[in-house]
Structure 1
């Protein structure tokens, strides 16, 4: 069946954001609440949320508001109805009774419940409705967390399969199938981990900021770690979920842990329920964030944690190796982490097959729903099955059945790539089975396993995707989260372009293995060369990158950019000259160099200029308006908060494509490369570069001076902005009539970039960004 319209029942936090999720995919939805006024308030709250649940404000038009009291018959127009009302069984059942007379005979009905059992919701349904009713548990915020847990019950297999494909392909969701048990998969293990962390915080007498330093990125989990996550979720929510778990998990061997600690009730009674109340485990006072002392429940100044596990972990890039090292630290931080990890891993292992049939469902649930970098079974695999067993034996803990069976049969891995396909170890019989696939997806780990890597170096590789299409992937071994671009990456890209030209390739895709495409050029290298006054080498790097960008643009075969996540500075400059871009919807793109005291140094100025010129060309606005728009984008270091937003900021071009499924991005990029390769001709030399020249520069200079006088920018901001305006206006050659050559602007850009790199205040900005991770206003 085709889903053309969706009904969402409940305009609260989740319901309104689900409508936003559907709107982002261009799918109309009807958003209901008790009455239209309440629904409107719910939608307004969603519109005001930061970060936004919408890709762009224009997406709001896909949502229509209705009241259950007067307009419930509109449900009859919907192909899929999602119930997302308050987590009370009686309220849900009462709503179902009202809506069933209006439900289309072939419509799917699902509940977004986070923990009420499917059998309790559907026990009174007629048999025919049970075939169309199941649970689709989205995680909050649904735009940013891909997890959707499905509890299918008696639903018809074909209907479930169709909706799963829709969720994966159209909405980019990661699907796991959970059993009909309290809290399903992710919340069951996630809640256990949070409550265990609280228990161990008291045992080891740690401060909460110390625990958050230990339980965030250090162990491959979300940056918000434990206590900040609890504040975001809400202490009242955490308490209620804990109580429900304690009441319903009567057979759980760890049931006692789910009884919420007394101090949690005390905080709730005082109204200290987390971020929504302005205070919970943390409290902001002025510019300072205080932390709660769990002993006396008083707020106090935070102290920077100095713990051995943090020092050891910072030096290790690979998460699995880092975990192995930090749990071996002899101090209290190592012992704390060892006890937390071992207990969480053990609890996870024991939940199969209770909450899920297979281990990959548990791993995926924790990665997609709680932001874990690797799931529990992947962590065990990283430690080694034998080592994990030895740890359990040392602690006097009985080895779980699945681990014992693996040891006996000599199985060392839960996951493998065999015969070019991703496999998982089936939990019942320990046989390798094919991992579920998103329809049409290309998985790079599978392609690499087929021996299709043509050549590689420390940071990147070239992969043959078949049909004459190749892929160049950035992958920094030293900083895999940010993928900074250095000379080794540029060298390999140049080698790839030359090789593919000689071998008459049909197309090239430029992408990345990591969560982020690239956060920019290697700023450490730029700063190091600038401080050493080695401007000859810095100029060489800048010129090489610029030349490569031109080589990409005028390549004899189409080059497709496939960025995702952070695509900043040099990352943008690498995909900007491509013939086309296939963008993951969560692509945060920006020419952000002014934030570190520079201007783009690898063609970014030229690309943004040309994009705005082409965008406005049919309007014939004259030379100044496109330059003004480019100045606003680069001068304010604007970053798109979605791929869609990147178009109006001048980072992307008409014809570029957005995909919501990360799994399908490479496949779509290959498809586009093949389409373009038919009779492909590289673009002619650009002849629209008509810039305003000195007159335009004077107008900018006056405006910039006024910003300084109004106190909106610093004196050095003024200096930088003036330099940028000079380049954008075309320097001394532009006259507002004749087009300039691209190379002239590239040379002007590079000359300005190098001069700014030599400024002490620019170097101070670079140093501050590298040290603090935020811009300095000096």
Structure 2
């Protein structure tokens, strides 16, 4: 039998010196942000205390309890599993301050009022342990000024730790030291945030709004300014400032709605109040339309109306000229659209600057302003340009930070264009570009990122925690590590890491599985068995795999269902064999998963000896969404796992939840939930930081190899049989009667039941894996003949959404 030896997360952590463990934390403030920070600590397996003001009455911790209860209902889910809420202990400042003595880390997350924070620090300081670290989750208040409220012996353990909202999903954490903060404390918190919380950390200087909000807010206000100047409506602004320029699809105004228009106004007021010496301070004036919307109670997504609102199934946009909502109207000139189509073209910025059109002028002006502002601020807000670019990437979801975009377009060429606009009075201020801009050829190089403070390139952090990031995110201008390539074709690349472990990465769109990928899986396994210690299936970027490539698969499949043709069955057998070979190979095969692992991607993952999955992995067998059943070994594998789990017990009970998951096409929205659904095993590893997936997968290969790895011997699968099938059909009949599923859903569900239960045999009958694999293929083939399946496939390809016909 195959060994189940593995490295636990703690063991992996101990393998790298310098990764701290905070065993207990406290969050002060049970507002939306504080409660969600506590939730994310529980996602990392760390129990937390959630404090808030005492409430009058019998239960003084009622405020914190209500906040914890609300976490389960929020969207997107702050908790990786709803049960994680039980790890948060509600507390209040009257009865529970003594509990702080056992906490390693205390994070204050109350309202942005200096005097309130100061009063709280006076209250809690006597209860903090001698080694406890205190941090403020302020988004812009001075950390140095806050430190003045603390006793002398605590100031060296105090810093700013700014999470971005929502804390589970937003990668960025800004760390802000004050003059007395111990460097060791900053290193400790950074290492913890990176490895244990899965964050991207930048170190910001103690300036107003720090890095990301300072530049991100400026970018939004510059956008509003030029949109008004050039008479562009809101929806056109969003069409121009979203994916077409490498930013999130929420673009600008939709992002404002998501953040909350009232929150945005508060941040603007804070900026205007504290940035009196900023040459761009006038840009922070609150627009009239923003005040009007807030006065109308339209605060954005949280009130279901802001710049946009949904009415009768249609998205309407606010029209400030008459304080109404109307249909969206977007029309972008073809010459501008043509330039925007090629996102990676370094010529596009220069081309936009030369086009005589308000849309092109808008795009050039808004990006030029950000370059100008970022260059002016760099030596004030950050140590080097990398901190700025990564802050904007991680905090605002840009594919490239401002300095990267500038460098990609030609550093000196863009600098000259900016200076020409400054000289011509076209910029927001006449402030010249800093001298250092013209003294360098690039801001990011193989040496590091530029720091104007000492006129040198600063390399990446050498903290030991970053040794776990074998392929970290690279900036424009940085060189990726070179590895020996064992083979490289149109579908996949098989390369060597550490001299004896092969890494297979797919090159298809969304890393879908086509015939070439299947061939590459077998070729890689052949090479690994002959020459290597083991093999990892891992993608340098998300997703792991969106499943079978429907566009290439369906034409072949449709031709092969002709009478007398065995081509479809042969194709499915090849898919099944290629997946199962990962489990039956003579060397350990580990899947490193991040992002989507759907359909065939999930089936491939499940057949690997071990899976290392980032917490933010979305895993499921979704074939019913296109009118099919899993037929790449997924049903067989889940039946196999259920048989092992049931042992001599009730087979129906072991299969019940699995059937519901597959028949409804459920997708686990975290790796932890994927364990509950059965897609991941208890022995599979969940890591918080997606950049550590490869490192941990390599460690798992080595652990399996060191335990004298042998492939598993196939054991018979005990069937659920006709009794379990009858129970599933009865449940579906009730759902059908209630209008929850269609006739065709019933048909698909019945075929899923047969594939999971081994067909109409006696319960407990021992069947070989091949028996289940045949049922998968037969069910798949019968559905593929139906026009309703064709309609589902077409709808998915056209819209990306499932059709329930």
TM-score (norm 2): 0.90
Mapping of residues 275-674 of structure 1, within 5 Å: 275-303=301-329, 308=334, 311-312=337-338, 316=342, 318=344, 331-396=357-422, 398-406=432-440, 411-412=441-442, 414-416=444-446, 423-428=448-453, 431-437=456-462, 438-444=465-471, 449-466=481-498, 468-476=500-508, 479=509, 482-503=510-531, 505-530=532-557, 539-617=569-647, 620-674=648-702
SS in 2 for 1:100: helix
- For 2:347 and 2:233, how far apart are their aligned partners in 1? 26
Match of 1:141 in 2: 166
Distance 1:705 1:591, change over 3 A: same
SS in 2 for 1:352: helix
Q: Is 1:735 paired with 2:762?
A: yes
8 Å CA contact 1:459, 1:488 repeated in 2: yes
Select between 340-349 and 686-695 the one with higher mean Cα deviation: 686-695
Q: Tell me by how many angstroms 1:193 deviates.
A: 1.2
8 Å CA contact 2:33, 2:109 repeated in 1: yes
Q: Which runs of 5+ in 1 are unaligned?
A: none
Match of 1:68 in 2: 93
SS in 2 for 1:562: strand
Q: Is 1:5 paired with 2:24?
A: yes
Q: Is 1:721 paired with 2:749?
A: yes
Match of 1:20 in 2: 39
Distance 1:9 1:737, change over 3 A: closer
Select between 532-541 and 257-266 the one with higher mean Cα deviation: 532-541
Distance 1:323 1:599, change over 3 A: farther
Distance 1:309 1:672, change over 3 A: farther
CA deviation string 1:540-587 (max 9, x = no partner): 443322111111010101101110111111211121101111111111
Q: 1:748 aligned to 770, 775, 789, which one?
A: 775
Larger relative contact order (Cα-Cα within 8 Å, sequence gap ≥ 6): 2
Distance 1:129 1:702, change over 3 A: closer
CA deviation string 1:581-608 (max 9, x = no partner): 1111111101011111111231122222
Q: Tell me by how many angstroms 1:646 deviates.
A: 0.5
Q: 1:206 aligned to 232, 235, 251, which one?
A: 232
Distance 1:559 1:597, change over 3 A: same
Match of 2:124 in 1: 99
8 Å CA contact 1:472, 1:511 repeated in 2: yes
Q: Tell me by how many angstroms 1:161 deviates.
A: 1.1
8 Å CA contact 1:700, 1:725 repeated in 2: yes
Distance 1:28 1:324, change over 3 A: farther
Mapping of residues 99-138 of structure 1, within 5 Å: 99-138=124-163
8 Å CA contact 2:642, 2:651 repeated in 1: no
- For 2:130 and 2:669, how far apart are their aligned partners in 1? 40
Distance 1:392 1:39, change over 3 A: same
Match of 2:251 in 1: 225
8 Å CA contact 1:21, 1:143 repeated in 2: yes
8 Å CA contact 2:626, 2:792 repeated in 1: yes
Q: Tell me by how many angstroms 1:463 deviates.
A: 2.0
Q: Tell me by how many angstroms 1:675 deviates.
A: 0.8
Match of 1:82 in 2: 107
Q: 2:796 aligned to 742, 753, 769, which one?
A: 769
Match of 2:5 in 1: none
Q: 2:270 aligned to 244, 248, 259, which one?
A: 244
SS in 2 for 1:440: helix
Q: 2:215 aligned to 182, 186, 189, which one?
A: 189
8 Å CA contact 1:533, 1:758 repeated in 2: no
SS in 2 for 1:172: coil
- For 2:200 and 2:734, how far apart are their aligned partners in 1? 50
8 Å CA contact 1:612, 1:629 repeated in 2: no
8 Å CA contact 1:597, 1:766 repeated in 2: yes
8 Å CA contact 2:491, 2:517 repeated in 1: yes
SS in 2 for 1:81: strand
- For 1:526 and 1:611, how far apart are their aligned partners in 2? 28
Select between 425-434 and 676-685 the one with higher mean Cα deviation: 425-434
SS in 1 for 2:612: strand
Q: 2:53 aligned to 22, 29, 34, which one?
A: 34
SS in 2 for 1:501: helix
- For 2:743 and 2:352, how far apart are their aligned partners in 1? 46
- For 2:757 and 2:350, how far apart are their aligned partners in 1? 55
Select between 634-643 and 154-163 the one with higher mean Cα deviation: 154-163
8 Å CA contact 2:561, 2:781 repeated in 1: no
Q: Tell me by how many angstroms 1:2 deviates.
A: 5.0
Q: Is 1:274 paired with 2:300?
A: yes
8 Å CA contact 1:308, 1:331 repeated in 2: no
- For 1:325 and 1:528, how far apart are their aligned partners in 2? 41
- For 1:367 and 1:402, how far apart are their aligned partners in 2? 24
Q: Tell me by how many angstroms 1:738 deviates.
A: 2.9
Distance 1:325 1:585, change over 3 A: farther
- For 1:333 and 1:521, how far apart are their aligned partners in 2? 40
Select between 431-440 and 378-387 the one with higher mean Cα deviation: 431-440
Distance 1:339 1:771, change over 3 A: farther
SS in 2 for 1:424: strand
CA deviation string 1:506-552 (max 9, x = no partner): 11111111132122221222333345567766554433221111110
- For 1:322 and 1:699, how far apart are their aligned partners in 2? 61
SS in 1 for 2:513: coil
8 Å CA contact 1:640, 1:646 repeated in 2: yes
8 Å CA contact 2:243, 2:249 repeated in 1: yes
- For 1:531 and 1:312, how far apart are their aligned partners in 2? 36
Match of 1:59 in 2: 84
Q: Tell me by how many angstroms 1:328 deviates.
A: 7.1
- For 1:205 and 1:529, how far apart are their aligned partners in 2? 51
Q: Tell me by how many angstroms 1:721 deviates.
A: 1.5
- For 1:759 and 1:309, how far apart are their aligned partners in 2? 44
Q: Tell me by how many angstroms 1:396 deviates.
A: 4.3
- For 2:746 and 2:579, how far apart are their aligned partners in 1? 29
- For 2:561 and 2:723, how far apart are their aligned partners in 1? 35
- For 2:99 and 2:627, how far apart are their aligned partners in 1? 56
Distance 1:771 1:425, change over 3 A: same
SS in 2 for 1:444: coil
Q: 2:715 aligned to 648, 664, 687, which one?
A: 687
SS in 2 for 1:101: helix
8 Å CA contact 1:111, 1:136 repeated in 2: yes
TM-score (norm 1): 0.93
- For 2:390 and 2:595, how far apart are their aligned partners in 1? 19
Select between 206-215 and 250-259 the one with higher mean Cα deviation: 206-215
Match of 1:161 in 2: 187
Q: Is 1:703 paired with 2:735?
A: no
SS in 2 for 1:658: strand
CA deviation string 1:394-441 (max 9, x = no partner): 5345544333111xxxx346133x7xxxx4344456544431253431
- For 1:748 and 1:312, how far apart are their aligned partners in 2? 50
Distance 1:93 1:542, change over 3 A: same
SS in 1 for 2:290: helix
Q: Which runs of 5+ in 2 are unaligned?
A: 1-19, 55-60, 424-431
- For 2:568 and 2:389, how far apart are their aligned partners in 1? 44
